Amino acid sequence: MAASAYARLLRQLCGSFSNQTQAFENPPLFAHILITTRPVPQLERGSLLLEQAYAITPSTPYRIRVLRPELSEGQLIIHNMALQEEQRFWGATGDPALRASIRQEDLTPLPGCTYWVREQGDGFVGEVEPGCRCLVERKGQTAYLVSHFELFPDRMRTIDRGHHPETHEQLWGSLAGAFEFERTDDHSAEIPDPWLAKDLETPGTKSGESSRL
């Protein structure tokens, strides 16, 4: 059951998403954003490359990450990693050769930024682990990230906010509400079969440790 949830999480994450409907229904409160997530088979089990960009500039993502869902002691989590010299990999979600060039050593764990995930209906909800340790900088000001997502078979809802590390005051984020993405493409067929095998519970790992394949 739990292993199957892991496979389902992998599948639901692997897609292309767009909030075009929301952006066009609510001008000018929501930028039009594209998210694409694809598996990177040469990396550790479950490694998914994510690129997030304004629709107007799809080839220059403002966020590029490797996400790695893992079933750790019965708990679904998603490791969250940055890429070193990330510009090298811009566009890799649409470029198989570039994607194939990503090595495990190109990844940098983002401490405190692991998502904790639970099943909800046909989908999942997740949020950044407790501790206020997922620090992000915006215009020279440090904030901790409060990030929440809801994943459905055909859509995804996300909300990110930055809070002051000491006062906990909200520094940035959308008061207009969550971003509402529709799935415009499904890339789950690219997931290597062994990643979806039911019998594997990966051991609890710290980021950077290799998990069992």
Which residues contact a second copy by CB under 8 A? 23-33, 52, 54-57, 62-63, 138-139, 170, 172-177, 179
Name which of 4 and 141 has its Cβ closer to a second copy.
141
Cβ-based nearer residue to a second copy, 62 or 131: 62
The least CB distance from residue 61 to a second copy, in Å, is 9
Q: What is the closest distance, in whole angstroms, from the C-beta atom of residue 53 to a second copy in the complex?
A: 8
Minimum separation from the CB atom of position 43 to a second copy (A): 25
- Per DSSP, the three-state class of 111 is coil
User: Minimum Å distance from CB 38 to a second copy?
Assistant: 20
- Cα 211 to Cα 68, 71, 134, 192, 204: the distances in Å are 11, 10, 23, 16, 8
Cβ proximity to a second copy, 43 vs 171, nearer residue: 171
| Own/partner long-range contacts of 169-176 (Cβ < 8 Å, ≥24 apart) | 171/138, 171/141, 171/143, 172/138, 172/143, 173/146, 174/29, 174/30, 176/26, 176/29, 176/30
